[in-house]
Each structure stands twice: as structure tokens, then as C-alpha cells.
Chains A and B, each alone.
Chain A
């Protein structure tokens, strides 16, 4: 696979020089210092690496950077605008929806993707959509509460 020289991340074009077979997760973290997405399993089974790709939640550990092209990537670092947190970030704080926090960025990105598709998701929809994200500390009940709470404050994500 050939080298990749550009990615569109969090609203701007970033210059990179990376082998296309590297994972999007590694390039975001190791080349661009967007460390919100985390390595948790490398199998796409924990969701800690979740970012938005053209608005959809994807596991960045399962995507080769060479396959991304011009699609727009949003990481947790791109959610905050002018010092204003996304309502789901606020809701995570309000509900203490985490303990160690290692899953949190991936959880929030999955939750943001869900809320962009379903304005007022039911509990069953939340569970189905979020089931690929693991919180080993077990804060699931609070995360569900945070997503429901954030649904009351709709926002448009403009990557």
C-alpha cells in the first residue's frame, strides 16, 4: 500500500507521511497526537478507539489509513467548540458516567453517532447501539442515563 499524505480530521486537513496499511488509530495517535481514541483490544471489540467517519461511528483500530481518503474524521478532540462541550460530554460529567475514563472517549463518540441518527433513542436502542463499547469499570447504567439526558439537548455535529 502506498503512502498517505493527508487526512481530514476535526475540520481541517492534516499533513501526514504514513504507510497506508497502518491503522487509522495509530496515525491519529502517533502521528497527529489525537490521543482521545484509545487502543483497547485491536480487534474492534471494545470500542475504545471509536471515531466518527463521515458521521458514522467506526473502530479506528480496524481501518487502514489508506482506505480513509477524503472522508471526514471527528475525534473527541473535535467535539468541543469555543470552550463549549458537546451535551453528551456535559452529561457524562453530570452523571459521573465513568471511573478510570479509558473507555470514555470511545463511549462518547459512539453515543454522539447514535444521537445524530436517533434524536430520542429508547433504552433498548441505546443498548443495541452501544453494545460494542466495553466499560470494564461497569458504568453502563450511568452511560445510558447520560445518553438519555443528552438527547434532550440536540446539536448538529459539523465535522
Chain B
């Protein structure tokens, strides 16, 4: 190998400088490739709000509509169901919807029933654990997973439980309550999901 004295320092600096410039250009080129994997304009447009007609919904029934490819549940709760929600306040992890509230619970749903009108629950039917869609166990009565069941949802994947306000039970895999999407009433029987008054 050559001695230190034989190194042409000026040339070496140029080599280092051009290697750095080339490296920076290579990294820069990676940006468009990585960006091409983000949701496309079309995918973002499909995130547009959807309307749901709730006039036909009988008390105690559930309607599922698709918003952004996800199931959104609308449950018309009976008075008995609403009373059941109050009874499980001490069994749920976050009864007052205080965790990640900007993400999960819009301001108008930060109440006992997590809804604008107590009668109608509107939540995204995707478990906050790993994204399965929980099953309906709307009726109160003993269940294999909970003897004092007051109605709600059961996730088959990892056993998380949610009450009829979408609040998660304590010590279950799911960390948070079900998400309440932004929504607003267009009339007494029509709901717009995906947009609220503030944004409109």
C-alpha cells in the first residue's frame, strides 16, 4: 500500500465529495419510490363521507355501512340497553373516553353513551387491537366470556369485549374503545358519516 505522503489529498477530497453527492442523489431518488406507495389520489377520494338512512332501523337493531372500506355500525339502542351501559362503568377500561380522545372520540361523543343522540350509537366496527371486526352480542344475558353480560360486542380473534357504547372491557388485548367516526345528522333519519359540522 502507498505511503501517507503519496496520497493526493486534493483528489481524495474530491472523491469523498463526489461520493457524498452521489449518495445524497441516490437517497433522494428513493423518495419518489417510497411516496408512490402512499394511498393514491383515488384511494384518498374514496375516503369521502357516506350517507346512511336510519329511519327503517327498529329499536335494538344494528345497521352496517361501509366507509373507507371499513364497517361502520349504527345501533338503535333501547332504554334497557342504555341502562346496561351505565351498569358496566366500573368494568370498562376508559369509561369517560379520555384516552386518545382526538383520534377516537369526537367532542360531541365524549359522553356516557359516546354518541350525539343517546338512542343511536355510531362506531367503526374494527377492534382497536389488531383490526378484526367484533361480532354482535347485543342481547343481555350470561355469555361464556362474561356471566353478567349487558350486551355489546365480542372480538373472536383475541377475545376483546366492548359494551354497547363501544367501550372496551378492562384487561383485554384491545387497548382502546372503538373509534367513533366523525358524523352528523342531516335530518332525523339521515346520518352523514365521515364529516361533521365543524369540517363542513
A and B bind? no
A residues sitting closer than 8 Å to B (CB atoms) are none
